[in-house]
Structure 1
C-alpha cells in the first residue's frame, strides 16, 4: 500500500489517471447478497464473486436470479501495479454519491497475476446506465 502526501487537488488528479489506466469490467446481469448461519457455509462455485463472514453468518455475492432481495449492478477495477491507487475507494465512492445520489459497496481482493489489489463495486441495479456513464466520464478525464 502506498502512502501519498498531496493536496486534495493532486489526489484528484492522480486518481483520475488511475481510473483511466485501470482495467474496468462491467459485469452482466444483476447481483444480490445471500446469507446463511456459520454452520452452513456456501459452496464455492464459479458464479460467486465474494464470500465473507462476521461473528455468526456467512454472506456472499452471487447472481440475483429470482431472489426478492436488493439487486445490484457490479463492476470491477484491476489496477496497474506501478500506479499509486491509495484513496481510490473513498474518491470514487464520493464521486458516485455526488453524481448519482447513491451509496455503493466495495469488496476488495488480491490477484498478483493481474496487478495486485482489485475492487468489485456495486450500486443499485436501476442505476447501471448512469453509473456506466459516470465511469466513462471519469475515465475520459
Structure 2
C-alpha cells in the first residue's frame, strides 16, 4: 500500500532516515546490464533475471553482465543494490529522496526498478548506478543508514 504523508521537509528527512536505516539493504555482486529484445520476442526469464520491462519497441532484461547471452555489445554496466522495506514502513518519497542524495554526492543519476512482495512488507526497489560509482554510492547509503 502506498502511503501519503503530510509533513514538513524536516519531518520527511527524519522519516526517510528511519526508513533507510530499517530497510533490508542488499548489495548485488558483480556488474549488471540490460539485454534488449524486440517487442514481438519477449526474453526468457532466468533465475538471475532481476527485472524485465518494456516500451513500445523493445523488452529490457536486467541480468548479470558476466555470461550475458544477448546482444550486450556496448551495453552500459551497472552496480546494483536493493531495498526491501519493513511492513508498515511509510516509504513515500524514498526514491526521490535517495536519488537526490546520490545526485548531490556523486554527480550522477540512478535508475530504479520497483516491485512488490506482500510477504516481505510490500514495495521493494532495485537501484542501478554506473559501475564505476557503485562503491561511492554504497558509502553514501551507509552514511545515511548510520545517521
TM-score range, shorter chain: over 0.9
Per the normalisation by structure 1, the TM-score is 0.97
Alignment of 1:91-130 (within 5 A): 91-130=97-136
Deviation at 1:123, TM superposition (A): 0.3
Cα displacement (A) at 1:43? 0.5
Alignment of 1:1-141 (within 5 A): 1-65=2-66, 67=72, 68-141=74-147
**After TM superposition, what 4+ stretches of structure 1 lie above 4 angstroms from structure 2?**
none
Shift of 1:28: 0.1
Aligned-residue RMSD, C-alpha = 1.0
Query: Distance in 2 between the 1:119 and 1:85 partners?
Result: 11
Q: How many residues align?
A: 141
Query: Can you list the C-alpha shifts for 1:51-87, whole angstroms capped at 9, x where unaligned?
Result: 0111121111111126431000000000011210000
- How big is each residue's C-alpha offset from its partner over 1:12-32, in whole Å with a ceiling of 9 and x where there is no partner? 110000000000000000000
Q: Structure 2 regions of 5+ residues with no counterpart?
A: none
Q: Which runs of 5+ in 1 are unaligned?
A: none
1:83, 1:47 → 2: CA distance? 28
